[in-house]
C-alpha cells in the first residue's frame, strides 16, 4: 500500500520520464473527482481528473453506485498511453473515505 495516493494535480510529475521495465507491472493508487462513467454491460469505465490535466481511466467490473463528481480512489496496474492519459487495468474503484 502506498504512503499516499496520487492526486490529479500530481499525476503529470509522477509519469514524467517514467519508464516501465519490460515485463514489470507498476501499480498506481490515485484519487480525484469522477469525471466519466460508462458501462458496456460487461465492464465499467471510470475516469478521474479534469480534461485539462492528466486523466486516469479505471477498467473494472462494477460502478459501485458511484456518480459523476464523487471523489473516488482507483488503484490498479498502470499503462501510460500518452502524457495526458493513463489506464489502470485491472483496476478497483471505491468512494474515497
Task: Break the chain into its structural domains and give their ranges.
Answer: 6-95
Could you say which DSSP state residue 49 is in? S
User: pLDDT by residue for the chain (97 residues), tens digit each?
Assistant: 677 899 999 999 988 888 777 778 889 999 999 999 999 999 999 999 999 999 999 999 999 999 999 999 999 999 999 999 999 999 999 998 7
pLDDT value of residue 2: 72
Residues with Cβ within 8 Å of 44's Cβ and at least 6 positions away in sequence, in order, are 37, 38, 58, 59, 60, 61, 62, 63, 93
pLDDT value of residue 1: 65
6-95: CATH topology: OB fold (Dihydrolipoamide Acetyltransferase, E2P) (2.40.50)
pLDDT value of residue 36: 97
Strands (E) across 40-70 are located at: 44-48, 55-60
pLDDT value of residue 17: 80
Amino acid at each position: 500500500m502506498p504512503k499516499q495516493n496520487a492526486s490529479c494535480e500530481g499525476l503529470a510529475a509522477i509519469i514524467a520520464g517514467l519508464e516501465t521495465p519490460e515485463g514489470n507491472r507498476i501499480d498506481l493508487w490515485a484519487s480525484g473527482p469522477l469525471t466519466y462513467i460508462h458501462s458496456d454491460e460487461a465492464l465499467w469505465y471510470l475516469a478521474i481528473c479534469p480534461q485539462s490535466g492528466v486523466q486516469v481511466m479505471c477498467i473494472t467490473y462494477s460502478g459501485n453506485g458511484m456518480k459523476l463528481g464523487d471523489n473516488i480512489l482507483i488503484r490498479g496496474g498502470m499503462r501510460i498511453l500518452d502524457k495526458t492519459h493513463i489506464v489502470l487495468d485491472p483496476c478497483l474503484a471505491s468512494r474515497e473515505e
